[in-house]
Amino acid sequence: MDILKNNKRTVLLLSAVILANTGLQILVPRFLSAFIDRAETNAPMTAIALIIAGYLFTVAAQKGAGLCEEFISCRLGGRITNRIRHQMLEHFIDLPMNKHDTFSSGEIMTRLDEDVEGVYEYYQILFLRIGTSVLLLVGVILSVAMKNRLTALLMLAVSLFSIWIYKVISDFGTKCYLKSSQAAAVFNGILKDKLDNLVEIHLAGAERHALVSLKKAMHEKFRESLPAGQMYGRLWRASTVMEVISVGGTLLIASLLWDKGMISLGTAYLFYNYVDLIYAPLQSFRNHLGGLQNASARKKRVEAFLKEPAEDGIPEEYNGYTAPSAQDVPYPAQGENTSAASLMDFSSLEVRNLHFSYQEGTEILRGISFTIHKGDLIGIMGETGCGKTTLVKLLARLYSCPAGSIFINGLELDSYSLKELREEILYCPQKPQLLHASLRDNITLFDPDIRDEDIYKAISALGLDHWLEGFERGLDTSFSSAEGSISAGEAQFVSIIRLFLRHPQVIILDEITSSLDKKKEKELMNAIKRLSGERTVLMIAHHPEALRMVNKILVLDGGILVEEGETRRLMNNPGSLYYKALTAGDEKGGISL
């Protein structure tokens, strides 16, 4: 409802156009009725010509109103859909990590693409299709009642009975569509995960297991979609019976009244025309109730997702091991109100004797300590599984850090609200997610407050003008196949532009160069250098060469910080691990420690 209030003028304009369109539809048959009556009574040609002119004008006006209704509703629908997508993305970010782990990327994409579209489709069918059909139905019955009450009562009875039958079938169908939508989302999630990890699956020899799980999800999707698909057939059969009763009964009454001279031939034709006009909204009920069932199921999934409790504290199962010396470190008590503190004045981030483990498992990080300052560009490297990603996720507070381990501006990380942390410390994962939407929407993530001018300025500031020129339609370019629309490097450019537009204080980049060729990597690193400016940037790099631009390097091994120093010093020190990695030319970015 808030979204509709924000578009009040558009909603009022659309309502006026719908009323005009409905009135014109009811008016058109009256011209035909008047024409028949005038022709039967040999009326002057002038009167007949005026009726014909009125008919042609009314038909043209009705068609124009229909086009305006479609255009305005599509524009309104785009705004509503994008706003809901933006709300869902914000809510998803605020969910605790245990919830993030339960959603595959494919399922989230399904919710953002199909389910969100289902919300607008639900209201479009309910108000613009079924609602206007009800309005037309009421108008027709009132018009018929002015001519003959008995015929109007028959039409009303048949219409109400038809709507009741459709409603019964619809209520049963919604449950089927809800199960079908869930099964489709699970299938899409599994399919996307398999496609994203084809190489890893092949190397692990797990093709058979992957195909079995995909086959089970596909069977489940088909099993749940079959009952939903049968709903339309039931609605069609019910509407056919209602149509026969409605048309046959009205024609019988009209012929009897005309035979007794109680109505004119034009009025009899008007009744027939109105019966046909009444069948149109009844047919609309039938055609759209199937879609309404599916849209209603997707709407419920969106509502259920938005009702997921946001993170006001990280769940206990993600709490790490508390360092033995934590009680000796001065910091504000956990949960203490420090609302005066602001990340807008970021000056330093300090890690003190950080230990962390997942639940009761082996320690991932052991005694990590380092300090970074505003404007630092930090590189983090180490072998796979050494704790790099865990460390940066703790810094972004995607996981809860042990008390007394991470400080910003001298205050413990928990002293800041999660909302502010999410706004000022941004984490960019290795694999960017693109949506089935335009380039503009993928950059803004459907935020209506970001203007095209802001996007162009960001692209220019990052030195990516040549990249944008590669898209023939510019920001209007549609990514119909999401990640498949552009290369991995170009997808990372989208991520960098997103970061620039958010104006964060700290940026964390998690191996964003891992799947790029040398040319794209160089272009991306130049964009990152422009992005950094006075911001603090922490970057996990796939290739040691990518860290030449940073001013400080941290090397992890087995969860321990084994090397720390200025990049220039380490590059010129044959005994440093970074020097050895550079000279070895390890294409995998690994380090022999």
Q: Which residues pair with 379 in a beta bridge?
A: 539, 553
pLDDT of the chain, 593 residues: tens digit per residue? 566 677 778 888 888 998 898 889 888 888 888 888 888 777 788 888 898 899 899 999 999 998 998 888 888 877 777 788 777 777 777 776 666 666 666 666 667 766 777 777 777 777 777 777 778 878 888 887 887 787 778 777 877 777 777 777 766 666 776 777 778 877 877 887 777 677 677 777 777 877 888 888 888 887 877 776 666 666 667 767 767 776 777 777 777 877 777 777 777 777 777 777 766 666 666 666 656 666 777 777 777 777 777 665 444 333 333 333 333 333 333 343 334 456 667 888 999 999 988 766 678 898 999 999 988 899 998 888 788 888 988 888 888 788 888 999 888 888 888 878 888 888 888 777 777 788 898 888 888 888 999 999 988 988 888 888 888 888 888 876 555 567 766 788 888 898 888 888 899 988 887 766 777 778 788 888 888 877 889 998 867 887 888 889 999 988 899 999 998 898 888 888 888 888 875 444 444 33
Q: Rg of the Cα trace of the chain?
A: 32
Backbone angles phi, psi at 370, to 5 degrees: -170, 165
Measured between alpha carbons, how far is residue 438 from residues 78, 79, 434, 445, 452 in Å?
Answer: 12, 13, 10, 10, 13
Measured between alpha carbons, how far is residue 100 from residues 103, 214, 385, 387 in Å?
Answer: 6, 21, 20, 19
CA dihedral 407, 411, 417, 421 (to 10 degrees): -40
Token output for 199? 């190489």
A 10 A CB-CB count for 332 gives 14
Measured between alpha carbons, how far is residue 385 from residues 199, 312, 374, 430, 508 in Å?
Answer: 19, 29, 28, 15, 18
The one-letter amino acid code at 407 reads F
The one-letter amino acid code at 35 reads F
The whole-number pLDDT of residue 53 equals 92
Q: How far is the C-alpha of 203 from the C-alpha of 425, rounded, in Å?
A: 35
Q: Answer for the pair 538, 507: CB distance below 8 angstroms, yes or no.
A: yes
Q: How far is the C-alpha of 278 from the C-alpha of 271, rounded, in Å?
A: 10
The arrangement of strands across the sheet holding 363-373 comes to 363-373, 348-357, 406-408, 411-412
Measured between alpha carbons, how far is residue 278 from residues 31, 141, 158, 274, 285 in Å?
Answer: 17, 8, 10, 6, 11
* Domains by residue range for the chain, with CATH: 2-306 (1.20.1560.10), 346-584 (3.40.50.300)
CA nearest 59: which of 89, 15, 28? 28
Angle between helices 149-196 and 207-229 (to 10 degrees): 180
Pairing mode, if any, of strands 363-373 and 348-357?
antiparallel
